[in-house]
Amino acid sequence: MTATVDQIKTIAVAGAGAMGAGIAQVFAQAGYSVLVYDLSAAQLDKAKAGISDNLTKAVAKGKLAEADKSAALARIQYTAELSTLKADLIIEAIVEKLEVKKELFSKLAEINGAATILASNTSSLPITQIARGIPQPGRVVGMHFFNPAHIMQLVEVISGAETSADVLEVMKALTVKIGKALVVAKDSPGFIVNRVARHYYVESLKAMEERVTTMENVDALMESAGFKMGPFRLMDALGNDVNFAVTSSLYDSFHQDPKFRPSRIQQQKVDAGHLGRKTGRGFYSYE
C-alpha cells in the first residue's frame, strides 16, 4: 500500500466529462503526469480542447505563464483503452451509478498493482458501498472535487469503512499539495456540501412547483442576497442530469425522506434532454 504522498507520481482520470477534464487539468498544472480515459474518442477530443481553452484563458488573464500552459498540456495523455489505465492514483469521474463505479474499480484492480489508490469523485454515493467486493478495499477512498474543478478550491476527502489510515493520510496530503482546500468528511450520504446544499435546489424547485414565484425571481433574489449564481442558473451550469441524479441518490440513501424528494420538474427536463448549458437548453435557453 502506498505509504507517502511523495510516492504518488502518476495520476489517471477515468471519465473525460467536465469533472474528469477539470481534475486532469488540476493535477497537470501541479506537475503530475496524467492519463485521461474515456470510452468515447469524441469526448476525449472535447476534454483536450476544453483543457487547452481553460489554460489559454488563464494566460490571457495573466494568471498563468505561456510556458506553464505548454508544460501542463504536455503532461496529459489521452486513451480510449481501459487496459492502459495504470497509475499510482486513479480517480473515477464517471456516471453517478453505484454498480457502474464498482464494475470500473473491479476492472482497474485487475490491471493495477495492490498499491494503486482507487479514488471516487462521487458526490453522493457511499464510499463503503463502492469499495465492497473490490480487492484490497483499504485503498478505495473518496476525493470529491467541485465543478469547475480547476477553479473551485474545495475538495472533500472521504474515508469509507475499509479505507486504510495510510491512504487517508496520503489523500489529505495530496489535496493540500495540489493547492486545494481540504475537508475530511465521514462516509454519509451527500457527505457535507451536497447534503447541506441540496436544499438550495430542492426548495427552489418546490417553490416553482407550487407557483410561489418564477425561477427568474428566485435566481434574482438569491443573487442579490450574495450567492454568485441563483439555483436555476447553477443547476443549468452543473447539468440537470447530474443534479437530478445526486438528489435521487440522497433521497434513496435517506430512505425516501421527503425533504430530499427529487423534483418532477427537473425530471421532465432530464427526460426532454434539456440538461443545461451543455445541451444549449435547460431552465434557460443558451442556443
- pLDDT tens digits, one per residue of 212-251: 999 999 999 999 999 999 999 999 999 999 999 999 999 9
> Is the domain 5-186 a CATH 3.30.420.10 member?
no
The grid coordinates listed for 7 are 510516492
Q: Is 123 a catalytic residue?
A: yes
Q: Name beta bridge partners: 10.
A: 33
1 pLDDT more than 80: no
Could you tell me how far CA 131 lies from the centroid of its own chain?
18
- The one catalytic residue in 120, 121, 144, 240 is 144
The grid coordinates listed for 70 are 505548454
Would you say 253 and 189 are in contact if contact means Cβ atoms under 8 Å apart? yes
- The one catalytic residue in 54, 120, 121, 123 is 123
Q: Write out pLDDT tens, residues 273-286.
A: 999 999 999 999 99
2 pLDDT more than 60: no
**Could you tell me the pTM of the whole model?**
0.89
Percent helix, strand and coil across the chain, each to the nearest 5: 50, 15, 35
* Strands (E) located in the chain: 10-14, 33-37, 76-79, 89-92, 117-120, 140-145, 154-159, 181-186
pLDDT at 20: 97
Lowest mean pLDDT among 2-6, 80-84, 253-257: 2-6
Q: Is 159 a catalytic residue?
A: no
3 pLDDT more than 80: no
What is the third-level CATH fold of 194-279?
Answer: N-(1-d-carboxylethyl)-l-norvaline Dehydrogenase; domain 2 (1.10.1040)
Once rounded to an integer, what is the mean pLDDT over residues 31-46? 97
What ranges do the domains of the chain cover? Answer: 5-186, 194-279
Average pLDDT, the chain: 96
